[in-house]
Amino acid sequence: MSRAPGGANKGTCRSTGEGPVKVLTTVNARIRGWRAARWLLAPASAVLLAGCAHPQSAPQPREPHSPSEQLAELYPRLALSGLFEDGKALADAVPRAEPARILEAYRAARPLDEAGLERFFEAHFRMPRPAPLRQPAPGLPLIEHIEALWPILTRRSPAVPAHGSLLALPNPYLVPGGRFQEIYYWDSYFTMLGFGDAQRPLKRAMVDNFAHLLRTFGRIPNGNRTYYLSRSQPPFFFKMVELTNQEAPAKAFAAYLPELKAEHRFWMAGAEGLAPGSASARVVRMENGALLNRYWDDRDSPRDESYAADVATAKASRREPSQVYRSLRAGAESGWDFSSRWFADGRSLPTIRTVEIVPPDLNSLLFGLEHAIADGCRELRDEACTSAFERRARMRRAAMQRYLWNERTGLFDDYQWREGRLLGNVTAAALYPLFFQVADTAQAARTAATVEAELLKPGGLVTSNRTTGEQWDAPNGWAPLQWIAVSGLRHYGHDELARTIAARWLDTVSGAYGNTGKLLEKYDVITRRPGGGGEYPLQDGFGWTNGVTVALARLYPELLETPASPAEGELRGTAR
């Protein structure tokens, strides 16, 4: 969809208040979503855009149900059966008929033994066809290899199979790769950093896809799957919008202002009338009355794509299962699924408590979003809106300074809002306040010193200083966090440290490429090899590694003057 900045959208959506939200709370993990989803979020999305009508908006359809909601007791039986090595395969399977009819057939056929269940599944579902496994020609220099990957990772889904979990999108988009064959929210920003002139139409197409999701559902889901609709991911949409007009970002924000405001309302829903020291959905009212945010999910059942793993985690926790499921889902919304920063004991997944934590990364993003909305409103000469969102940003920054700065560690930290204390986490999330310029000069200097002492490793920046076996802990490093760190440190003049992180990361990526012929989802930055840990095998492709590699090479072209390239015939498979 083409847009004229400041044109057709001018004057649209003057409201700055929050709309109501209904939060799904239930007691039965197996049938909660199936019975409740029809009223869950449709009222919220209807209110969300009231007074913010987009000139091309269409009436919003009823929100589609996820597979576990549609299939009731059949879904847990399949998910826990052991038939699926990767639970995502079940979540992505396409019913051959209406789910209600399949459910009737299952109830009529019971009891089924395991062999019978497998035959039933094969008769009533089909697995999606995987995308052709292609790689660019061997022997290309690293950046040329990435350029060749863009069309390989591009997908189109203007129409989707009936009854399946995939959500249609009007425009082409890039997927990360590997098992991730749908668009993912926060991945996309870091992927787009690597786009050049040839990918300019794809950049706009992806931004418009996210705008479409905001208009349709009132939020950008984790990815374009029905089972992701109950949660979002770190809100980088405004940063993607900025990439469409880097010379005049305010014009870009003005062009997408209704969608930016809709996303802000999604994150702030539930704030109205919230008492100090309490929380609602993604909003926490601090003890002094200030508003900050947390990660959340509107459902409290096992994730469709990780059902068996979540059930096992809940059993190991010996806590109320719904509490564990909610925090697992909230951890997935954070993008850090999973990390010691969410664990009560700092070590083990069954102690996860994501919803009890106010994190610096999310609040830095929302500070940036509030400034972006203010800039867009200023471009449209809406003084009331400009003033309102500038005030929101000032108040958020003041609250972050008061509650999230840890003087002892010299970092912005995760805050346990129920207990009223900082957690002492040393993670790369502390660099978000530098990326979005929340930190003052002294805080930035303390952060740089702590990061250099605790997180800088031979292969780049490690995610945390704890080793737990989870993929968002040591020894792994991730491309998006390298970009956040390098850019944030450069904002405050810590250029030498920024360049060191970039150099070590590029050396890690190019070295692994030289050995495997691939770009990977994550890397072990301590021993400088492919990364590991987490719920699934290491994936290759890989969208955000590609984008950040190109972006860092543009900043520091001398670092890849002699890029590593694999010798033809010597490629090795991705390490697992």
- Residues 518-554 as b/e (b if ≥16 CB within 10 A, e otherwise) read bbbbbbbbbebbbbbbbbbebbbbbbbbbbbbbbbbe
**Active-site residue 521, yes or no?**
yes
CA distance 261 to 270: 15
Closest CA relative to residue 196, chosen from 478, 553, 574, 476 = 553
- What H or E segment, with its residue span, contains residue 483? helix 479-491
CA distance 104 to 84: 23
For 92-147, the three-class secondary structure string (H helix, E strand, C coil) is HCEECCCHHHHHHHHHHHCCCCHHHHHHHHHHHEECCCCCCCCCCCCCCCHHHHHH
CA distances from 232 to 146, 229, 434 (A): 28, 7, 23
Q: List the catalytic residue out of 63, 300, 304, 337.
A: 337
Long-range contacts of the stretch 237-240 (C-beta < 8 A, 24+): 237/185, 237/207, 237/210, 237/263, 237/369, 238/263, 238/368, 238/369, 238/372, 238/373, 239/189, 239/368, 240/188, 240/189, 240/192, 240/203, 240/206, 240/207, 240/210
CA distance 298 to 33: 10
What is the identity of the amino acid at 173? Y
Closest CA relative to residue 496, chosen from 437, 449, 459 = 449
- What H or E segment, with its residue span, contains residue 149? helix 142-152
CA distance 212 to 199: 20
**Active-site residue 561, yes or no?**
no
CA distances from 541 to 19, 171, 179, 181, 338 (A): 39, 21, 10, 11, 21
Closest CA relative to residue 227, chosen from 68, 46, 95, 22 = 68
CA distance 401 to 391: 15
- The dihedrals phi and psi of 186, each to the nearest 5 degrees, come to -75, -25
Q: List the catalytic residue out of 263, 370, 521, 540.
A: 521
DSSP category for residue 27: S
User: Which residues touch 313 (CB under 8 Å, ≥6 apart)?
Assistant: 324, 328, 349, 350, 352
Distance of CA 42 to the CA centre of its chain: 22
Q: Are 441 and 426 in contact (CB under 8 A)?
A: no
Closest CA relative to residue 78, chosen from 123, 24, 26, 129 = 123
- Strand, helix or coil for residue 292: strand
Q: Say if residue 555 is exposed, middle or buried (CB neighbours under 10 Å; 0-12, 13-18, 19+).
A: middle
CA distance 208 to 1: 6
Q: Which residues are catalytic?
A: 337, 521
